[in-house]
């Protein structure tokens, strides 16, 4: 193999490595959702239904897609809190 081919191959590997790293980072939107959703579930388990329902409603309202699993789960748990 020539040195030019090896250099091109290494450059390709480096570029792919950076690309994969940027796609693997979790955005703040999902991190906030996880934090709020976990907190709401914790409140639900502690039988603090009113506080949990407020958080579940907030999470459900942040999603515009009516068929989103996140929205559906938040609405379900909000309804459980209302019982």
Torsion of CA 48, 53, 54, 56, to 10 degrees: 120
> How far, in Å, CA of 10 to CA of 17, rounded?
10
Q: Is the pLDDT of residue 44 over 60?
A: yes
Q: pLDDT (tens digit, 9 = 90+) per residue, 7-18?
A: 777 777 777 666
**Lowest mean pLDDT: which of 13-17, 39-43, 46-50, 79-83?**
13-17
pTM, 2 dp: 0.61
> How far, in Å, CA of 11 to CA of 76, rounded?
50
């Amino acid at each position: 193999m020539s040195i030019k081919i090896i250099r091109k191959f290494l450059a390709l590997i480096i570029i792919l490595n950076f690309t994969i790293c940027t796609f693997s980072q979790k955005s703040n939107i999902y991190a906030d959702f996880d934090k709020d959703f976990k907190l709401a579930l914790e409140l639900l388990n502690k039988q603090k239904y009113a506080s949990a329902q407020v958080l579940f409603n907030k999470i459900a309202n942040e999603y515009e897609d009516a068929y989103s699993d996140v929205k559906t789960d938040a609405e379900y748990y909000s309804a459980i809190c209302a019982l």
